[in-house]
Amino acid sequence: MPISDSDPRLDVAHAAGAAAVALRGCWNVQGLSDGAGGARARRRIAALRGALTDCAADASARWDLTRVEALDHVGALMLWQAWGGRRPAHLEMREQHRQLFDNLAAIVHAPAAAARRDLLAPVAAVGAEMLRFLEHLTGFVRLLGQLSLDLARFAARPQAGPWREISANVYRAGAQALGITALVGFLIGIVLSYLSAKQLKQFGADVFIVDLLGVAIIRELGPVLAAILVAGRSGSAMTASLGVMRVTEELDALTVMGIPHGFRLIMPKVLALAVALPLLILWTDAVSLLGGMVAAKIQLDLSIAFFFDALPAAVKIENLWIGLAKGAVFGALIALVSCHFGLRIEPNTESLGRGTTSAVVSSITVVILADAVFAIAFSNVGI
């Protein structure tokens, strides 16, 4: 590398028994880092520090800083560290640089926290985790309580309710999700029909595909599928929007204006999902069954008309009601869990990401838990 005038360097001369050290070039961040930093600059800095330390070992050395082209705090700090935190006996420098070293003398370090080994740390961690879980639980219960109060208020005076917010949420969580639920539902219908058709054919039980698809989709798959898609789509959006509102103090602004955010933000979301999800489930069921029919037609040569005829007999209507009831419960749960996490977001970007992830994971888990409860509670209805 060609040496230019502004490269930082040391001139060491030995005269009359004492070393004379003269600094030249740019001893500032620009000069030291070569403009953009990188490995070469790092090697050069290491070399300079080595040379400085060698020179500083000689207490009688004469230091001459008057000929540097530029010197800033970083350059001064390298010298200061080589000198061991004090000025050498023989030092010449320009007046304007004196202040730099005065500033360096004022550096205060935070006392390093003593790293103590704690044998009980794992136990404490488990305990902290438990407490955190309990805290989540109480927070969730408080949210539920607030929701009940808000619902009572809404029921008492429905004309003063947040209709606009509810309809906006139904549109966003419901209408805008029609495309994705249709696509996923159709494909799942095809896959399910295709795989079961092969098995049924072996036993000559072709016609039972209608029973299989009907019960599986209407009672179980449709609701869970739609709920998971909505949890990923709308749940995360709800958490993020509430989180950002909390970070930017919009929630506080609402509170001081006397606009309760439980009534205006959370209840509309819960109601909207409780309405939109059953409708989405109906739609997903229909499209999945269509997919199943198409696959059955191709694989088993079962006509569409036959499918329509056989369906009402094969699947009792209770299954549809159970599916839709599940939808309402799942929707409310997803909205509640998402709002719960949204309200706990701390004012930093990391917490926003973490909160959104937790919201989606938790709401899907809660949906599946609720699904298990439904399965046990209604085990002898409709089958």
Partner 1 sequence: MAATAHSDDYVIEIEGLWTRFGDFVVHRGVDLKVRAGEILALVGGSGSGKTTLLRQMLGLETPHQGSVRVFGQRLDTADTVALRALRNRWGVLFQEGALYSALPVFDNIALPLRELKCFDEALIRDIVHLKLAMVGIEARHAAKMPADLSGGMVKRIALARALALEPELVFLDEPTAGLDPDRSDSFVALIRSLHRELKLTVVMVTHDLDTLFELTTCVAVLADQKVIANAPVREVIAIPHPFIKTFFLGERAQRAIEVIRDYPFVV
Per-residue x/- mask for partner 1, residues 19 to 38, rule CB under 8 A? -------x-xxxxxxxxxxx
Q: Where are the alpha helices (DSSP H) in the chain?
A: 29-32, 39-57, 73-82, 95-105, 121-156, 163-173, 178-202, 209-215, 222-230, 236-247, 250-256, 261, 267-300, 304-314, 317-343, 349-377
Collapsing DSSP states into helix, strand and coil, what is residue 259? coil
Distance of closest approach, residue 104 Cβ to partner 1, in angstroms: 6
Distance of closest approach, residue 362 Cβ to partner 1, in angstroms: 22
Backbone angles phi, psi at 63, to 5 degrees: -100, 135
Q: Which of residues 3-22 bind partner 1 (CB under 8 A)?
A: 4, 6-7
User: Is 108 or 257 the residue whose CB approaches partner 1 more closely?
Assistant: 108
Nearest to 288 by CA among 184, 212, 181, 186: 186
CB of 192 within 8 A of CB of 252?
Answer: no
Q: Cα(31)–Cα(45) distance, rounded to whole angstroms?
A: 10
Distance of closest approach, residue 7 Cβ to partner 1, in angstroms: 8
Q: Between β-strands 90-92 and 68-71, what pairing exists: parallel, antiparallel or unpaired?
A: unpaired
Stretch that binds partner 1, among 72-80, 148-156, 222-230, 294-302 (CB under 8 A): 72-80
Distance of closest approach, residue 339 Cβ to partner 1, in angstroms: 21
Q: Cα(241)–Cα(235) distance, rounded to whole angstroms?
A: 10
The CA-based angle 283-165-339, given to 5 degrees, is 80
Distance of closest approach, residue 144 Cβ to partner 1, in angstroms: 28
Q: Which of 53, 66, 103, 167 binds partner 1 (CB under 8 A)?
A: 103
Per-residue x/- mask for partner 1, residues 349 to 378, rule CB under 8 A? xx----------------------------
Rg of the chain over all Cα atoms, to the nearest angstrom? 36
Distance of closest approach, residue 110 Cβ to partner 1, in angstroms: 4
Q: Which of 18, 20, 74, 184 binds partner 1 (CB under 8 A)?
A: 74
Distance of closest approach, residue 107 Cβ to partner 1, in angstroms: 5
**Tokens at residue 140, please?**
């969730």
Q: Total residues at the site for partner 1 (CB under 8 A)?
A: 43
Q: Which of 53, 60, 99, 148 binds partner 1 (CB under 8 A)?
A: 99
159 is an interface residue for partner 1 by CB under 8 A = no
106 is an interface residue for partner 1 by CB under 8 A = yes
324 is an interface residue for partner 1 by CB under 8 A = no
91 is an interface residue for partner 1 by CB under 8 A = no
User: Is 209 or 352 the residue whose CB approaches partner 1 more closely?
Assistant: 352
Count of Cβ atoms closer than 10 Å to residue 376 Cβ:
7
Q: Cα(270)–Cα(154) distance, rounded to whole angstroms?
A: 13
Collapsing DSSP states into helix, strand and coil, what is residue 378? coil
CB of 20 within 8 A of CB of 14?
Answer: yes
> Which residues of this chain interact with partner 1, rule CB under 8 A?
4, 6-7, 26, 28-39, 41-42, 45, 69-70, 72-74, 77-78, 81, 96-97, 99-100, 103-104, 106-110, 346-350
